Structure 1
Amino acid sequence: MVGRKKKPKICDKESHEEDRISQLPEHLISEILSHLSTKDVVRTSVLSTRWRNLWQWVPGLDVEFNTFSDTKTFVSFVERFFDSHRESLIRKLRLNICLPYGKCDLNSWIDAVTTRRIQNLDVNFFPANEIPLIIYACKTLVHLRLVRVALADAEFVSFPCMKIIHLEEIRYPNETTLQKLISGSSVLEDLTIIRSPAKVLQVRSHTLKRVDIDESTEVVIDAPLLQCLRTKIISTKNYKIINLGFSTKLDIGIGFSNATYGKSLIHDILTDISRVRDLVISNVILKEIFLYSNSGPVLQFQDLRRLKAEFSQSDLEMLPTILESCPKLESFILEMVKEPSMRHEEKREAHVMFSAVPRCLVSSLKFVELKRSIPRYEGEMELIRYFLKNSTMLEKLRLNVYYTKKAKCDFLTQLVAIPRCSTACEVIVL
């Protein structure tokens, strides 16, 4: 009919939508896929004919043995990957393997990646297999993580690009091997050693910034640029820092909650704390320090600026004393933790003297965070009120706490009603 308009044709957008990723060059697609797990990368092979073999060109392999049906399938998959990369780069290799001896040729796999400019190598192998000597001369390696493997004895170690080393349950012929590994990493910044069989490990580095050791590892650290030492202590001090500077952060935890600490150990720890500006400490050691101070002179940590400490509810009675010991404290994170089990004494509530106002609350404290990994405890609002009413310089109070919907409404109502000594204080409830 004349004058009748035709209805516009409705197109199926999904059927005509362009596949822009497939239009990219293969090397860009491989770069995108390198950020996925190997399992997800292989799944892309069913998308189309073009994608069928693209997974083989991704410059990285991340596999776990237990995701394969059997040993033969796992070994075949890995070797197929290496065969497809005979002339290309392999930047990352992560192998988590639990195999009987002789079922795979780990040496040839390590050899394959070291000749193809590997940057990130992560090997967890059980039972322990020896890493081949060729690894010690890898010029491109940046991040090395070895778990439950054996290190071969080496005459010479050279890692000109190595920045991160993580060693866990490692076997090696002697302490010298491990020390060569560290000293041969000329730009090393981050070192983690867990469950080391070494009696005392000498760590010397002019570039090292962070060290993480567990309670079973004893180290002597000579690192002038050290920024952070994280360790756990059982009953003896397992570290010694040469040239400990103000910029070094100490993170001291405990190996076992029922460990006993002598006065000499606490004295040594106090000596270290008095020389740093940043401290993270467990409630068990903090309580030992508090008890130690009751029998001696008043503690003073004149240089401490940042403190993160654990407290149980019964530990809160030492809070004013601890804060008074830190006259220049600027940042304080208080984490409420579970009350320790008491075998020989009954649990009791803390008697906190909130009437005392430490100097740092008046002159320096700018940031406070209260967080808890336990249910709400009695006295929480009183603790919040203590900081808000007495902190003259406070800029931010962050409350990392959990409440049910109804309880949170009551909590916020009480919180808003608390007067603030600092008009610039921002209160954030997470």
Structure 2
Amino acid sequence: MEMGVKLSNHSVDRLSSLSDDVIIEIISFLPLQFAIVTGSLSRRWCGLWTKVTSINIKLPDFKNFPDFMSHITSPSIYRFFVKYAVEVDDSISLSLLDFWFRQACDRNVRELKLACPPRFKGCSYRKNILPSFVLQTHSLTSIELYFVYNLQLPDDGQINLPNLKRLRFTRYRVDLKLLGTLIEACPSLEDLSLIDFFFMWTPERDDIKVFNRNLRRLVIDTGCIEDRRFAVVINAPKLEQLVCHTVKSAIFSFEVKPSALCEVKIEFINHNVRLQSRDEKKVMSEFYQAISNVSSLTLDDYVLHKVSSTVFCNVTRCTLIMKKWYNIKTVASLLELCPLLDVLTLKFDWDRRITRERNLGKPNRKRTSRRVLKRLEIEAYCTTYRKPGKSFLKLVQYLLSGAIDLEHFYFRAVGPKFFTEEVRKRMESKLCKLICECPMASSGCKVQFEGMFHKYVSRSNQG
């Protein structure tokens, strides 16, 4: 008790010792309704919320205070986020939204984020949620749009975003001509993400043009597009990272080969439409050849089947997503394509029995003995109440038996919640037995289990 009294006598109110500028910066990260509530903490904090540099409002929770912008006295608003949590009615009119955006743009807003549900009352697809004058705000460095439709050009038809570095569209209804104009009108753009975007149906093939000389990261995810044929033409000489998650009928090509490209992720969705003509297959073959110098590669087994003649001579880290060709030959062919591979990550369902055991094939011992891996990661997803298949165990045994300098083996299993502790222990003991029987050349190989097998195991070859 005496110790508690002593500590209370020497306690210091560090929060009150902070300057007003620091306190304003702290409450600027709070949603605006919470920042206003902080004014009731003390007299000193009463009017600090009017000087916030970041505004984060959530509708319709904030619809009872529509004129809040008239109370903001800070000359600069760095971040302006508006989110529609649920469907709203006409109480928040589009003209009021325009007024909020106008005030933010006049105060040199840097980061802008707008999130809307796919459909909400009082606003149809034809109405422009994001005011067109936003596309002429020089101070903007980041724009994120979620579920925003029908983006329109300004009245004069000009886009002027000289300082924009990050642009992200999620579930955006694409006008491909406007999208191409917008990308070219951002000379400082470095990060472009098109997530689950979709566009109007046309009988001919659509082309997405990504032309930007300073672009360094490009993400194209067309997960919601089914049975569509389109092409992505990239002209970004400084591109460093490329992520593609799209349908098999998509065609990618480079007008200028990016010399700085170091990381590529390609995963195709299993839809019906595929490449048909020889020209399309030739373009994709040239695209795979253009990315052969990357150091980090993520691909699925469909892409691996298409790049069987391409050698990735600089790849040191590779992730293989196994969907269909679930056998040893698939992994063996990948190891042949990546001679300098150090880290290998496999992702698949261990209970899928697509390939018969008699078609697995026998690994080549000569090629296996030359393989050098420092880290092996396996992420298995179990979707049914079934023990690991023989093909899965053979695959793990094949990889471990041929790894010369293996230093770390990481295994993560994700299974349904109805797995009992007894079933988990049985699966874990089977894998541990398999690992212990494999001759690892490294003297201190570390084995780690996570996920379903929540136990951490550390093992040495000497023990």
Q: Aligned-pair distance for 1:155? A: 3.6
Matches within 5 A, 1:238-317: 238-245=251-258, 247-256=261-270, 260=274, 262=276, 264=278, 268-276=283-291, 277=294, 278-286=296-304, 288-289=305-306, 299-303=309-313, 305=315, 306-312=317-323, 315-317=326-328
**Which amino acid is the alignment partner of residue 415 of structure 1?**
I
Does the C-alpha gap of structure 1 residues 266 and 233 become closer, same or farther in structure 2, counting only changes over 3 Å? farther
Matches within 5 A, 1:61-140: 61-66=55-60, 68=61, 74-80=62-68, 82-97=69-84, 98-100=87-89, 103-104=93-94, 105-125=96-116, 127=123, 128-140=127-139
Does the C-alpha gap of structure 1 residues 16 and 181 become closer, same or farther in structure 2, counting only changes over 3 Å? same
Matched, 1:355 2:356: no
Does the C-alpha gap of structure 1 residues 261 and 177 become closer, same or farther in structure 2, counting only changes over 3 Å? closer
Matches within 5 A, 1:156-167: 156-167=158-169
CA distance in 2, matches of 1:369, 1:263: 38
Does the C-alpha gap of structure 1 residues 208 and 300 become closer, same or farther in structure 2, counting only changes over 3 Å? closer
Q: Which residue of 1 aligns with 2:153?
A: 152
**Which amino acid is the alignment partner of residue 441 of structure 2?**
C
Q: Aligned-pair distance for 1:368? A: 2.3
CA distance in 2, matches of 1:124, 1:360: 51
Residues 324-381 of structure 1: per-residue CA shift (max 9 Å, x gap): 233333332111137779xxxx874574345324758725543321112226623445
Q: Which residue of 2 aligns with 1:232?
A: 245
Matched, 1:212 2:219: yes
CA distance in 1, matches of 2:402, 2:436: 16
Percent of residue pairs bearing the same amino acid type: 20
CA distance in 2, matches of 1:29, 1:245: 45
Q: Aligned-pair distance for 1:28? A: 0.3
Q: Which residue of 2 aligns with 1:374?
A: 382
Instruction: Work out the number of aligned pairs and report it.
Output: 404
Does the C-alpha gap of structure 1 residues 137 and 312 become closer, same or farther in structure 2, counting only changes over 3 Å? closer
Q: Which residue of 2 aligns with 1:33?
A: 27
Q: Which residue of 2 aligns with 1:422?
A: 442
**Which amino acid is the alignment partner of residue 16 of structure 2?**
S
CA distance in 2, matches of 1:201, 1:79: 41
Does the C-alpha gap of structure 1 residues 340 and 207 become closer, same or farther in structure 2, counting only changes over 3 Å? farther
Q: Aligned-pair distance for 1:226? A: 1.2
Unpaired runs of 5+ residues, structure 2, are 201-205, 416-420, 451-463
Q: Is the 8 A contact 1:320 1:357 kept in 2?
A: no
TM-score calculated relative to the size of structure 2:
0.74
CA distance in 2, matches of 1:314, 1:175: 35
Structure 1 residue matching 2:344: 3-state secondary structure: strand
Q: Aligned-pair distance for 1:62? A: 1.8
Q: Which residue of 1 aligns with 2:208?
A: 201
Does the C-alpha gap of structure 1 residues 139 and 214 become closer, same or farther in structure 2, counting only changes over 3 Å? same
- Comparing 207-216 and 53-62, the one that deviates more: 53-62
- Comparing 113-122 and 8-17, the one that deviates more: 8-17
**Which amino acid is the alignment partner of residue 190 of structure 1?**
D
Residues 62-94 of structure 1: per-residue CA shift (max 9 Å, x gap): 22215x2xxxxx3343531x2222443211111
> CA RMSD, aligned part only?
3.6
**Which amino acid is the alignment partner of residue 227 of structure 1?**
E
Q: Is the 8 A contact 2:220 2:246 kept in 1?
A: no
Q: Is the 8 A contact 1:168 1:193 kept in 2?
A: yes
